[in-house]
Amino acid sequence: MSGQQQTDGGFANPVIPGFHPDPSICRVGDDYYLVNSSFEYFPGIPVFHSRDLVNWRQIGNALDRPSQLPLPHTMPSSAGIYAPTLRHHDGRFWLIVTNVGSTGNVLFTATDPAGPWSDPLPLPGVPGIDPDLAWDEDGTCWCTVAGISQFRLDPVTGENLSEPERTWSGAPGAQAPEAPHLYRIGEYWYLLIAEGGTERGHCVSIARGTSPTGPFEPCPANPILTHRSMHHPIQNTGHADLVQAPDGSWCLVLLAVRPGGGTPGWHVLGRETFLVPVTWEDGWPVVGELELEMPAPGWPLTPVPAVPARDDFDEAELHPQWISVRERRAELCTTKERSGWLTLRAAGASLDEPDVVFTGRRQQHLSCEARTLVDASAGRGGLAVRLDEQHHYEIEAGDGEVKVFARIGSLRTEVAARPLPAGPVVLGVDIAKQQPREARSGPDLVSFGIEEPDGTFTVLGSLEGRYLSTEVTGGFTGRVIGMYAASGTVHFDWFDYRAAQAS
Query: Active-site residues: which are they?
Result: 22, 178
Q: Which is nearer to ligand 6LW, 252 or 427 (CB)?
A: 252
How far from the centroid of its chain's Cα atoms is residue 316's Cα? 25
Q: Which is nearer to ligand 6LW, 174 or 333 (CB)?
A: 174
Cβ-proximal residues to 421 (8 Å cutoff; 6+ apart), any chain: 450, 453
Cβ-proximal residues to 11 (8 Å cutoff; 6+ apart), any chain: 3, 4, 5, 54, 275, 294, 296, 297, 301
Q: Which is nearer to ligand 6LW, 83 or 460 (CB)?
A: 83
Q: Which is nearer to ligand 6LW, 274 or 405 (CB)?
A: 274
Element (H, E) at 84: strand 80-89
Find the shortest distance in angstroms from Cβ 15 to ligand 6LW: 17
Instruction: Report the candidate in 351, 460, 384 with the shortest Cα–Cα distance to residue 416.
Output: 460
Instruction: Report the candidate in 397, 413, 374, 483 with the shortest Cα–Cα distance to residue 405.
Output: 413
The residues pairing with 70 across neighbouring beta strands, listed in sequence order, are: none
Cβ-proximal residues to 281 (8 Å cutoff; 6+ apart), any chain: none
Q: How many CB atoms lie within 10 A of CB 139?
A: 8
Q: Which is nearer to ligand 6LW, 177 or 285 (CB)?
A: 177
Cβ-proximal residues to 77 (8 Å cutoff; 6+ apart), any chain: 39, 40, 354, 388, 389, 475, 477
Find the shortest distance in angstroms from Cβ 13 to ligand 6LW: 17
If you count them, how many residues does the chain have? 503
Q: How many CB atoms lie within 10 A of CB 214?
A: 18
Find the shortest distance in angstroms from Cβ 411 to ligand 6LW: 27
Rg of the chain (C-alpha set): 23
Report the alpha-carbon distance of residue 431 to residue 3 in Å, rounded: 21
Q: How many CB atoms lie within 10 A of CB 122?
A: 13
Find the shortest distance in angstroms from Cβ 78 to ligand 6LW: 8
Report the alpha-carbon distance of residue 449 to residue 442 in Å, rounded: 20
Q: Which is nearer to ligand 6LW, 97 or 383 (CB)?
A: 97
Find the shortest distance in angstroms from Cβ 196 to ligand 6LW: 10
CA dihedral sign, ordered 307, 311, 313, 319: positive
Find the shortest distance in angstroms from Cβ 281 to ligand 6LW: 26
The residues pairing with 371 across neighbouring beta strands, listed in sequence order, are: 428, 496
The residues pairing with 425 across neighbouring beta strands, listed in sequence order, are: 374
Q: How many CB atoms lie within 10 A of CB 417?
A: 14
Find the shortest distance in angstroms from Cβ 121 to ligand 6LW: 20
How far from the centroid of its chain's Cα atoms is residue 72's Cα? 20
Instruction: Report the candidate in 477, 480, 443, 473 with the shortest Cα–Cα distance to residue 322.
Output: 480
Binding site for ligand 6LW (CB under 6 A): 21-22, 37, 82-83, 129-130, 178-179, 194, 198, 238-239, 255, 476
Q: Which is nearer to ligand 6LW, 222 or 350 (CB)?
A: 222
Q: Which is nearer to ligand 6LW, 182 or 432 (CB)?
A: 182
Let me know: does 244 contact 454? Beta carbons within 8 Å: no
Residue number with the smallest Cβ distance to ligand 6LW? 198
Find the shortest distance in angstroms from Cβ 202 to ligand 6LW: 6
Find the shortest distance in angstroms from Cβ 437 to ligand 6LW: 31
The conformation of residue 206, written as its DSSP 8-state character, comes to E
Report the alpha-carbon distance of residue 241 to residue 230 in Å, rounded: 23
Q: Which is nearer to ligand 6LW, 22 or 389 (CB)?
A: 22
